[in-house]
């Protein structure tokens, strides 16, 4: 690849220098936020494009947070839509019933935060069966959890039962989505590159060996589930206030499947992969809209081909350099130099 | 005070008595071996000490502290580390990360600090990384610090597993068949290596091994298990001529 396209290798090395620059992220964040504020305030982008970008952001949050459980920890959770539902309902109830009229826009982040905390509490409860069950069995536990959430919501009249909830204002704006997306990506990336995150990876690789290397696997599982469900709740709150309507059927197993597709499309155990997966999936769905029903054939077909030719997803088990901590990059540099000196460069 | 005191340790798997009435006292800085034919219960003893199985009866005390009922990571944090018969590294992770994970029991930052990368996080991560790199260079593995563990050759994987165990800063190191699959030349190196580890890290070592050459060469004391029962304990020279041991290994007819 590098020999065939000289331009590719120059681009790659440029990218690596850029990624190692400590100003890369601050500049990117400020520019992104400014763009989002401008886009929504002066209508640089029309409302349709803005809505798509909002969905992209929400899907990134969902994918990154599910990747923590399914990719980094190597479990198979299908209950992510359940956490999302908790966040959506909690946030909507707060903006409709608790906040004084006229102050909703100002207090909106608090409602989203409350949705996240509500989902995190539920995530804590789901973490407990994960102490004992693994793999397929945990998948069934989370599936059951997803169904419980749906049927509980369908049977509470105060939240509209099966008819769902209406009356939220359109509070989800592009700058807020950008803020929450950046926050979730940042926090989960921080977790992954800490020793707690390495504990999460140890559970995936060999749980018993991890335990015997002093990793408190219960603590790690609680942290992973709480953080993951917290951000699912955040995404749920944003989703409810973007759509201005929620009902229990939106958060069933089909929604979980969508998130799973984004995770496995982008690649397991990769922040960059999660972002790519969410962006590609959301945008493809919009581009393929003219195909009508046939797009629901195209997407699964793409997934089948992906599983055959690239079973770990586009970025499976790899990370783009801007997401790695600088210290790791420096360590890697020293290691590569040493290797070159000893003369056995293999990779 | 003795380092490890095992008294009347008994464990059953659904009626099958894997270990029965096992007694063993280990003094600091000893190097002892547990031997016995296949299925004698040697690895079960390791699993009981490290808390992978919860002992049915009996007690295991590390410096007077009861270990039965504690979780594996708590026991590791108290100072017992082990390696595995069939190497169990974190295969998809880098060599460096394999060692860094073993610092989990001693990290001094809270989950909240890890999530936001504030406070003690940076200093602590720097310490963990530097200590891990130092350990790797002692074991001559620093050249492959960024390599995935599964890409290392077999011998280096064994070495990495021992390095990872030592990263938990144990007082007692349990080696489960460290010389499995090695030729006589490599076994000699392994013997030197184990002696060197004991001296450099001042740890007490218990090892399980089938290679008699290694066991007789370096162990100061031995316990022999057969079908869960302890049939002999003593110096290597005593064990070599012990009638019951010969019987267990070679069969009754041959001994008679």
Could you report the per-residue pLDDT of A159-174, keeping only the tens digit for each?
999 999 998 999 999 9
b/e code A59-93 from CB counts within 10 Å (16+ = b)? bbbbbbbbbbbbbbbbbbbbbbbbbbbbbbbbbbb
pLDDT at site A55:
97
The partner residue sitting opposite B105, judged by closest CB among A194, A214, A331, is A214
Element (H, E) at B31: strand B31-35
Q: How far apart are CA A26 and CA A34, in angstroms?
A: 12
pLDDT for B194:
95
Question: Has residue B254 got a pLDDT over 70?
Answer: no
Mean residue pLDDT of chain B comes to 92
CB A130 within 8 A of CB A225: yes
Q: Tens of pLDDT along A92-119?
A: 999 999 988 888 889 999 999 999 999 9
Query: How far from chain centre, in Å, is Cα B36?
Result: 17
**Rounded CA gap, B147 and A324, in Å?**
16
Which residues have CB under 8 Å from A335's CB, separation 6+?
Answer: B142, B143, B145, B146
Answer yes or no: is pLDDT of A345 > 50.
no
Instruction: Give the gap in angstroms from C-alpha B59 to the nearest C-alpha of chain A.
Output: 20
What pLDDT, on a 0 to 100 scale, did the predictor assign at position A10?
A: 79
pLDDT above 60 for B55: yes
| Res. A274: pLDDT tops 70 | yes
| Per-residue confidence band for B253, with pLDDT thresholds at 50, 70 and 90 | low
Please count the residue pairs, one from chain A and one from chain B, whose beta carbons lie less than 8 angstroms apart. Answer: 126
Range of the domain at A129: 58-252
Secondary structure letter of residue B210 according to DSSP: S
Q: Which of B91, B95, B101 to mutate to test the interface with A (most CBs of A within 10 A)?
A: B101
Report pLDDT digits (tens) over B93-135.
999 999 999 999 999 999 999 999 998 999 999 999 999 999 9
Q: Out of A190, A205, A210, whose CB is closest to B115?
A: A190
Does residue A317 sit at the B interface (CB-CB below 8 Å)? yes
CA atoms of A132 and A154, how far apart (whole Å) = 30
Which pLDDT band holds residue A138 (cuts at 50, 70, 90)? very high
Question: Does A26 reside within a domain?
Answer: no
Question: B118: which residues sit within 8 A by CB, 6+ positions away?
Answer: none
Instruction: Summarize pLDDT for B168-214 with one digit per residue, the tens.
Output: 999 999 999 999 888 999 999 999 999 999 999 999 999 999 888 89
Using an 8 Å CB-CB cutoff, list chain A residues near B97.
198, 201
Residue A341 sits at the chain B interface (C-beta within 8 Å) = no
| CA–CA min distance B221, chain A (Å) | 26
Contact A340/B at CB under 8 A? no
Does residue A6 have a pLDDT over 90? Answer: no
- Taken in order of first residue, the domains within chain B and their CATH numbers are 1-79+170-256 (3.40.50.300), 91-168 (no CATH)
Q: Using the beta-carbon criterion (under 8 Å), do A211 and B128 form an inter-chain contact?
A: no
Q: Of A6-15, A128-137, A335-344, B219-228, which gets the smallest average pLDDT?
A: A335-344
Helix (H, G, I), strand (E, B) or coil at B222: strand
* pLDDT band at residue A133 under the 50/70/90 scheme: confident
Mean pLDDT of A44-62: 94
Cβ contacts of A187 on chain B, cutoff 8 Å: 115-116
Residue located via tokens 């994960």: A130
Q: Is B134 touching A (CB cutoff 8 A)?
A: no
Is B143 within 8 Å of A342 when comparing Cβ atoms? yes
pLDDT at A56 over 80: yes
* Contact between chains at B104 and A217 (C-beta distance less than 8 A): no
Q: What is the pLDDT of residue A186?
A: 96
Quick one: pLDDT at residue A328?
A: 79
- What are the φ/ψ torsions at residue B12 (nearest 5 degrees)? -120, 140
Mutate to test the interface with B, among A189, A190, A203, A214 (most CBs of B within 10 A): A214
Helix (H) or strand (E) holding B53: none
Altogether, the residues listed in chain A come to a count of 347
* Helices of type H across B102-153: 111-116, 121-138
The reply to whether residue A214 touches residue B104, judged by beta carbons under 8 angstroms, is: yes
* Chain B contact for A286 (CB, 8 A cutoff): no
The reported pLDDT for the residue numbered A347 is 41
Q: Does B105 touch chain A (CB under 8 A)?
A: yes
Helix (H) or strand (E) holding B176: strand B172-176
Least confident segment among A103-112, A216-225, A285-294, B132-141: A285-294
Of B90, B109, B167, the CB nearest to A202: B90
A234 part of a folded domain: yes
What residues contact residue B130 under an 8 Å CB cut-off, 6+ apart? none
Instruction: Give a yes or no: residue A103 inside a domain.
Output: yes
| Stretch A268-296: mean pLDDT | 91
* Mean pLDDT (whole number) for B43-58: 94
Q: Please indicate whether, in this complex, the C-beta atoms of A214 and B102 are within 8 angstroms of each other.
A: yes
- Is residue A71 domain-resident? yes
Q: Is the complex ipTM more than 0.85?
A: yes
B252 touches chain A (CB under 8 A): no
Classify residue A192: in a domain, yes or no: yes
Using alpha carbons, list the distances in angstroms from residue A304 to A261, A298, A308: 11, 10, 6
Residue A311: pLDDT band with limits 50, 70, 90: confident
List the 99-128 stretch of A: residues with Cβ below 8 A of B: none
pLDDT in tens, A14-45: 777 777 777 888 899 999 999 999 998 888 88
What value does the mean pLDDT take over residues A172-180?
A: 95
pTM of the model: 0.92
CB of A132 within 8 Å of any CB in chain B? no
pLDDT at A327: 76
Q: Which of B114, B118, B137 is the best substitution to test chain A (most A C-beta atoms within 10 A)?
A: B114
**Selected residues 19-38 of chain A with any CB under 8 Å from a CB in chain B:** none
pLDDT at residue A249, rounded to an integer: 94
Please tell me which residue, B14 or B110, carries the higher pLDDT value.
B110
Per-residue confidence at B256, pLDDT binned at 50, 70, 90?
A: low
pLDDT at residue number A344: 53
Residues B62-80, mean pLDDT to the nearest whole number: 95
pLDDT exceeds 90 at position A292: no
Give B-chain residues touching A325 at CB under 8 angstroms: 125
Contacts of A336 in chain B (CB under 8 A): 146
Report CB contact under 8 Å: A202, B101: yes
pLDDT at A346: 45
Q: What does DSSP assign to residue A319? A: -
DSSP conformational letter for A195: H
**Does the pLDDT value for residue A315 go beyond 70?**
yes
Instruction: State how many domains chain A has.
Output: 1
């Amino acid at each position: 690849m590098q020999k065939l396209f000289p331009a590719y290798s120059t681009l790659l090395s440029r990218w690596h220098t850029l990624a190692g620059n400590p100003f890369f992220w601050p500049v990117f964040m400020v520019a992104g936020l400014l763009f989002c504020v401008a886009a929504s305030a002066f209508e640089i982008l029309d409302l349709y494009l803005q809505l798509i970008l909002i969905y992209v952001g929400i899907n990134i949050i969902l994918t990154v947070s599910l990747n923590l459980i399914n990719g980094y920890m190597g479990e198979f959770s299908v209950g992510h839509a359940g956490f999302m539902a908790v966040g959506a309902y909690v946030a909507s109830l707060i903006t409709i019933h608790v906040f004084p009229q006229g102050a909703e826009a100002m207090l909106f982040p608090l409602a989203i935060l409350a949705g996240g905390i509500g989902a995190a509490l539920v995530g804590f409860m789901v973490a407990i069966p994960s102490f004992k069950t693994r793999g397929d069995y945990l998948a069934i536990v989370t599936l059951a959890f997803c169904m419980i959430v749906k049927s509980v919501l369908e049977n509470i009249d105060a939240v509209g039962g099966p008819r769902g909830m209406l009356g939220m204002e359109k509070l989800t704006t592009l700058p807020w989505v950008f803020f929450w997306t950046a926050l979730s990506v940042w926090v989960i990336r921080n977790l992954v590159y800490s020793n707690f995150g390495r504990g999460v990876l140890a559970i995936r690789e060999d749980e018993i060996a991890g335990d015997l290397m002093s990793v408190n696997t219960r603590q790690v599982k609680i942290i992973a589930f709480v953080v993951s469900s917290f951000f699912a709740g955040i995404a749920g709150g944003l989703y409810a206030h973007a759509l201005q309507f929620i009902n229990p059927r939106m958060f069933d197993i089909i929604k979980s499947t969508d998130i799973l597709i984004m995770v496995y499309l982008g690649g397991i155990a990769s922040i960059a992969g999660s972002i790519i997966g969410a962006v590609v999936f959301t945008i493809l769905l919009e581009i393929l809209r003219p195909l009508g029903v046939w797009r629901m054939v195209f997407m699964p077909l793409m997934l089948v081909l992906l599983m055959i030719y690239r079973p770990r997803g586009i970025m499976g088990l790899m990370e783009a350099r801007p997401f790695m901590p600088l210290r790791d990059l420096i360590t890697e540099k020293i290691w590569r130099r040493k290797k070159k000196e000893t003369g056995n460069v293999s990779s | 005070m003795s380092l490890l005191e095992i008294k009347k340790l008994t464990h059953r798997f659904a009626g099958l008595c894997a270990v029965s009435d096992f007694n063993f006292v280990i003094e600091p800085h000893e190097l002892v071996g547990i031997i016995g034919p296949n299925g004698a219960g040697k690895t079960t003893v390791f699993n009981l000490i490290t808390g992978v199985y919860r002992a049915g009866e009996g007690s295991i005390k590390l410096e007077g502290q009861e270990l039965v009922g504690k979780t594996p990571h708590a026991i590791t944090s108290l100072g017992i580390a082990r390696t595995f018969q069939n190497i169990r590294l974190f295969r998809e992770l880098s060599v460096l990360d394999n060692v860094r994970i073993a610092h989990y029991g001693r990290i001094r930052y809270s989950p909240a600090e890890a999530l936001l990368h504030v406070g003690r996080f940076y200093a602590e991560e720097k310490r963990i990384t530097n200590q891990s790199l130092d350990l790797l260079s002692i074991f001559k593995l620093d050249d492959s610090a960024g390599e995935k563990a599964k890409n290392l050759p077999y011998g280096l994987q064994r070495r990495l597993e021992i390095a990872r165990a030592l990263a938990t800063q144990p007082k007692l190191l349990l080696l489960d068949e460290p010389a499995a699959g090695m030729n006589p030349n490599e076994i000699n190196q392994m013997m030197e290596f184990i002696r060197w580890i004991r001296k450099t890290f001042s740890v007490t070592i218990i090892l399980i091994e089938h290679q008699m050459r290694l066991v007789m060469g370096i162990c100061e004391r031995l316990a022999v298990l057969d079908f869960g029962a302890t049939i002999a304990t003593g110096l290597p020279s005593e064990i070599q001529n012990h009638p019951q041991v010969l019987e267990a290994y070679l069969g009754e007819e041959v001994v008679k």
